[in-house]
Amino acid sequence: MQNAKHIYSIFADYLSQYFKTRLAYRADFLGDLASNLISELINLVFIIVVFQHVPLMGGWSRDEIIFIYGFFLVPYALFSIFFGFWDFNERYIIRGEMDRILTRPVHNLAQVCLESIAPDRIFGVISGLIIMGYAAIQLKLDFYWYDPIIFIVLSVSGALIYGGVYTAVSAISFFSDSRTGISPMIYNIQQYGRYPVDVYNKIIRFVLTYILPFAFVGVYPAAYFLRKETWYIYAAMTPVVAVIFFGIGLLVWNIGVSKYRGAGS
């Protein structure tokens, strides 16, 4: 607990460090913003175009699918803010920055997260909320007073699920002695779980629920707000899954650190 408090207190320092650095490269900042916005829009285009040809997809309407996508963007953005070390292998293993991390008195994963923090991804939360808001109006959804709280809990849980899987995948770098291309894997990972899992066959549904549980980042929690009662149990399980998978990620990471070989001789 003491440690968590310390991490929280240096978080602000890293944040200010980030903004000071970022001011030096303003063009890059805008480019990143535009590229994120474009990827979000393109996924929306897919949904809209497809629904010009069909009224339903596996029993789900266009606006329901859009709502799920909007919801998905929120935990994904939270995840992107804190887990921005997509160049982990290159930067920390090959160039040996991990050496420095390990000689500092803060948990090493926390340091790596803080050093690659990307607060500008907060805009993903905003676009997610806008998309969800649009879909909610179209669907005439009703909300209870406690729904915002549930929304926050589910979003944070979703971000932790991504974080856990991502951490475990990144930790492969500790074990492998070759360059590992984890960044394309992460780039592709965000594809899944955005669509209702019941459109997939059993195997993929199983994978997305129990092995790479990305369904808990999009469909399952969103189903709660869409009032799809068949999925309520899954929605309720989201925080549990988050704790388990983040724990697994942390465990794999810690084992990886003990296997760390250092760069050079």
Partner 1 sequence: MHKFYMELIRMRFLTMLAYRVNYYSGIIIYAINIGAYYFLWGAIYGGQQQLGGLSVAQMTSYVAIAWMSRAFYFNNIDMEIAQDVREGKVAIEMIRPYNYLSVKTAQAFGEGIFRFLFFAGPGIFLISLIIPFHFPATAQGWGLYLLSLLFAFLINTQVNLLTGLLTFFMFRNDGMIRAKRVIVDLMSGLVLPISFFPGWAQTLMGFLPFQAINYYPSLIFTGVTSAARAWQLIGFQVIWMVVILIPILILWRMARSRLVVQGG
Partner 2 sequence: MIQVKQLQKEFRIHQSRAGLGGAFRDLFSREYKTVKAVDNLSFTVEEGEMFALIGENGAGKSTTIKMLTGILTPSSGDIVINGFVPFKEREDYVRSIGVVFGQRSQLWWDLSPLESFRLLKSVYKVDDTAGEKWLERLIEELDIGSFVSQPVRKLSLGQRMRCEVAASLIHKPRLLFLDEPTVGLDVLVKQKIREFLRNLNETEKMTILLTTHDVSDIEALCKRVLVMDKGKLIFDGLLSDLKEHWGNGTEVSFQMKKRTKASELRNVLGDMPCTIEQINDYSLRVQVPRSQEMLPFVLSTVMASFDVSDVKIMETSTEDIVRNIYRTDGEVASHA
Residue 87 interface partner, choices partner 2, partner 1, none, CB cut-off 5-8 Å depending on type: none
Shortest gap between Cβ of 33 and partner 1 (angstroms)? 7
245: helix, strand or coil: helix
Residue 104 interface partner, choices partner 1, partner 2, none, CB cut-off 5-8 Å depending on type: partner 2
182 binds partner 1 (CB under 8 A): yes
* Among 5, 20, 53, 140, contact with partner 1 (rule: CB under 8 A): 53
Q: Judge contact between 74 and 40, C-beta under 8 A.
A: no
Q: Judge contact between 220 and 235, C-beta under 8 A.
A: yes
Q: Judge contact between 245 and 161, C-beta under 8 A.
A: yes
Which pair of tokens denotes residue 174? 């500790």
Shortest gap between Cβ of 71 and partner 1 (angstroms)? 18
49 binds partner 1 (CB under 8 A): yes
94 binds partner 1 (CB under 8 A): no
195 binds partner 1 (CB under 8 A): yes
* Among 192, 234, 245, 260, contact with partner 1 (rule: CB under 8 A): 192
Distances (CA, A) of 244 to 157, 163, 206, 215, 218: 10, 12, 17, 15, 18
Which pair of tokens denotes residue 175? 């074990």
Interior/surface letters 155-187, b for 16+ CB within 10 angstroms, e for the rest: bbbbbbbbbbbbbbbbbebbeeeeebebeeebe
Binding site for partner 2 (CB under 8 A): 3, 6, 9-10, 13-14, 17, 20-21, 24, 96-100, 102-107, 177-178, 258-262, 264-265
Strand partners for 56: 61
Instruction: Count other Cβ atoms within 10 Å, centred on residue 111.
Output: 21
39 binds partner 1 (CB under 8 A): yes
* Among 95, 100, 179, 227, contact with partner 1 (rule: CB under 8 A): 179
Q: ∠ at Cα 79 (74, 83), nearest 5°?
A: 160
Task: Pick the closer one to partner 1 by CB: 59 or 133.
Answer: 59
16 binds partner 1 (CB under 8 A): no
Distances (CA, A) of 29 to 66, 89, 108: 28, 23, 27
Residue 99 interface partner, choices partner 1, partner 2, none, CB cut-off 5-8 Å depending on type: partner 2
54 binds partner 1 (CB under 8 A): yes
The binding site for partner 1 (CB under 8 A) comprises: 25, 27-28, 30-36, 38-39, 42, 45-46, 49-50, 52-54, 56-58, 172, 176, 178-182, 184-185, 188, 191-192, 195, 199-201, 204, 207
